[in-house]
Structure 1
């Protein structure tokens, strides 16, 4: 009986130490680094390539893993086995004209952060102790509450939502669509197609980069063609 009680106590302890609400271990800026590295190389790649592009030593690097899985938590990438691809939101967040709204969307795509935002929207945030208590109540494991709070505070500032009060940045509305369609489904699988289009989302995103009209410098045009070619090469195999 004593053994069963001890086992039950251990099980209860493990449950208490496991968070039941999702949140990243890293911050938003680290996640955006991943998106930018992928964007610079055609929007997709595997982990070995991404490690090299980001300047980390190995795929086992703790810093790399935190950034990688944070990027997924913020809705910027999809991961299928070792393959990584930008989502629509990931494509939008690296564009200057849609960066502000996309940063806010990425922040609010984290369940824990959205819950805190909804509770304190427009109001002063409480002190660290109360904020951590809120997070534990929402499902954060007590041992992880400090890390969860610090990541939340850093990411809120990086998304320009504020430090003491969570308010959308000036000119940013979550009701309007961002240029290029950041409001599209963000959790699409690697290489899949959107339900409302026959064009692969990565191809569509690069077509949207084309200027509607006007002049385009030769360097800008050649750069677009080179990146677009890499995207096509990754998506489509050439028949022998």
Structure 2
């Protein structure tokens, strides 16, 4: 009986020891800047979506390698990409974090706080100066990080915080950066602009005639197969549309300066 008790105690201790080496709170093994590089590669090479193997090749890595899988997992954890069945796609946040027009700073803040550990650390230390590295490591362990992973967790936390702008340059405090909100036009003005732009949804240049917009939508994707007869049909259709919606200045000028028939009344 005693042997059984000792065996149960030993089994419990083993389980507890194993538990100590497994983190109970999510954090990425790569920092936010590395995750943004993944999103940028997808955007530059494929627009919005690609195969995982393609992405790995573009990044000069193996699709099954640890470095690539680490960066891919980080990009997912930050909320920049999503994937299924061997494909990865940029999320709306992934597009925003690459937006040079002004959405990127706010997107980096959102991505940083998407990570469970980083969000918990923000709640713990917001508006305060972060403690020295050993104290940060003790705190992440208290929050659920495995002691064996505390150094990695601290490094990705600090690098990501700096990249997202959470470390105030003047005071050194851990604080959410101020984001200037872009002015959102009222619905009435947006509708007016949409009508002025020919009713397009932002995928075509403004001011195009609806017939031309429809014509452009019929263009196959670059690199796809487009038989010669179908290509000629598209060109013939385009020619007909252009004749209908555009004027011919040369012909008009000739008509304006043509000699009148002497028999015509003034």
| TM-score (norm: length of structure 1) | 0.70
**Aligned residue in 2 for 1:93:** 97
**Aligned residue in 1 for 2:151:** 146
Q: Distance in 1 between matches of 2:204 and 2:175?
A: 33
Structure 2 gaps, min length 5 = 185-200, 209-216, 223-266
Pick one of 71, 75, 78 that aligns with 1:67: 71
**Aligned residue in 1 for 2:132:** 127
**Aligned residue in 2 for 1:156:** 161
Q: Deviations over 1:61-114 (max 9, x none)?
A: 221111100000100011213121111100111111211111111111111101
Q: Identify the structure with bigger relative contact order (alpha carbons < 8 Å, sequence gap 6+).
A: 1
Q: Deviation at 1:6?
A: 2.3
Q: Distance in 2 between matches of 1:210 and 1:150?
A: 44
Q: Distance in 2 between matches of 1:104 and 1:178?
A: 19
Distance 1:213 1:152, change over 3 A: farther
How many residues are paired up? 189
Q: Which has the larger radius of gyration?
A: 2
Q: Deviation at 1:208?
A: 5.0
Pick one of 167, 173, 177 that aligns with 1:169: 177
**Aligned residue in 2 for 1:84:** 88
**Aligned residue in 2 for 1:187:** none
**Aligned residue in 2 for 1:36:** 40
Q: Deviations over 1:186-233 (max 9, x none)?
A: xxxxxxxxxxxxxxxxxxxxx65766679xxxxxxxxxx9xx947xxx
Q: Distance in 1 between matches of 2:23 and 2:86?
A: 25
Q: Distance in 2 between matches of 1:128 and 1:13?
A: 25
Higher-helix-fraction structure: 2
Q: Distance in 2 between matches of 1:9 and 1:178?
A: 58
Structure 1 gaps, min length 5 = 180-206, 215-224, 231-240
Q: RMSD value over aligned CA atoms? A: 2.8
User: Does the 8 Å CA contact 1:92/1:102 hold for their aligned counterparts?
Assistant: yes
User: Does the 8 Å CA contact 2:32/2:160 hold for their aligned counterparts?
Assistant: yes
Distance 1:212 1:146, change over 3 A: farther
Q: Deviation at 1:42?
A: 2.2
User: Does the 8 Å CA contact 1:75/1:106 hold for their aligned counterparts?
Assistant: yes
Q: Deviation at 1:178?
A: 9.4
Q: Distance in 2 between matches of 1:10 and 1:109?
A: 33
User: Does the 8 Å CA contact 1:37/1:50 hold for their aligned counterparts?
Assistant: yes
Q: Deviation at 1:141?
A: 1.1
Q: Deviation at 1:54?
A: 1.5
| TM-score (norm: length of structure 2) | 0.64
**Aligned residue in 2 for 1:5:** 9
